[in-house]
Amino acid sequence: MIPAPANSDHPNRIDGDLLYLQRLIVRWRYLFFTLVGFVLVLSFNGQWQVGPDSADYRELGHQLAEKNHYFFRDSLSDTSGYIDQQDTRYPGLPVYLALVEKCFGRSPLPPLIGMMAAAIACLALAYRVLRFCLPQWLGVCVVVGMGTNGRFLQYANELLTDIPFLLGLLLTLLGYEMFLRARGGWRMGAMAAVLLGGMTLAATMRPTFWILAAALLIACAMALLMAWRRRRALGPAFGKIDTCAPVPRPAAWRYAVICLVMVLAALLFVLWLDLRHRSMLHGGYEAKVVAGLRDFNHKI
């Protein structure tokens, strides 16, 4: 057998180098994560980046802390409806700011520390979620790139809903994936709590939660369809298989049904918990989207 030429362009040599690099990334992953944490700490200055959106959230949180009322200001008929923040802003971040203000005062430093902690939790959860669908070395690269991204660092130091919504999204994905893989009552209960907690957190932050809810409903429906097709495919074969041999019966539909029920329960809970003066049926972002779709359909 003729030996392979000893040059760096040979495919076997390239594959070996890539495999060595992947193993090196996995081996030194904790060093990379430490460097990402160092970058996050360097980016933190404890100063509130003043902006119209964060100012709206802080004022709503202050009103909740001082007057126990989700209120921004009186509606003025001769100005734009944009100032009626109590009609559109989701209550998750104002409630968080109100709780922090009750405990530590109105200084922006404590909520900013909490936002940075949420950003670190997002990186940890992202790494855990990526382990379900990507190789470990690629998950490390994604988390390092995410943690050193300038936009991510910017949102980690602002009082906005981006980081809390991302935290809720990742908790939802982690709870969903681990719930489908859970075996045992206590593990299923724990993962169901994580799933419901993540959906509730995301739902109280931004209207884009409805996209997440629709994706979960579609995923549950697809899981039910696949389980039903698998059950039909294996059904006629059950009578021909020796009963002494272990037969993997399709039980995934039970988990899909439970996930579907939890998603619907979370949606109803969010609708009941809505603190806005105008619900999705009478105002807020959802009514604006529906009105825009109606106008678009009329133009067509």
Beta-sheet strands, E only, within the chain: none
Q: pLDDT tens-digit profile of 235-293?
A: 555 444 443 433 334 455 566 666 667 677 666 666 665 655 555 544 555 555 656 55
Tokens of 165: 């919504």
pTM for this structure?
Answer: 0.77
Rounded Cα gap, residues 78 and 83, in angstroms:
11
Tell the burial category of 279 from Cβ atoms under 10 Å away from its Cβ (0-12, 13-18, 19+). Answer: middle
pLDDT cut 70: percent of the chain above it? 66
Q: pLDDT tens-digit profile of 165-200?
A: 999 999 999 988 888 777 777 887 888 888 888 888
Rounded Cα gap, residues 173 and 78, in angstroms:
44
pLDDT at position 158, please? 92
CA triplet 47, 52, 53: central angle to 5 degrees?
A: 85
The interaxial angle of helices 29-43 and 136-147, nearest 10 deg, is 10
Residue 1 has pLDDT above 90, yes or no: no
pLDDT at position 13, please? 58
pLDDT at position 254, please? 62
Question: Between residues 60 and 104, which one has the greater pLDDT?
Answer: 104
User: In the predicted model, what is the mean pLDDT of the chain?
Assistant: 77
Which among 260, 268, 269 is positioned nearest to 217, based on CA atoms? 260
**Residue 163 near residue 118, CB atoms below 8 Å:** yes
pLDDT confidence bin for 137, thresholds 50/70/90: very high
Q: pLDDT tens-digit profile of 19-39?
A: 888 889 999 999 999 999 999
One-character DSSP codes across 134-155 = S-HHHHHHHHHHHHT-HHHHHH
Phi, psi of 43 (to 5 degrees): -75, -15
pLDDT at position 239, please? 44
Q: pLDDT tens-digit profile of 86-116?
A: 667 788 898 899 999 989 988 999 999 999 9
Kindly give, in sequence order, each residue whose CB lies less than 8 Å from that of residue 95, ignoring residues fewer than 6 positions away: 61, 64, 204, 275
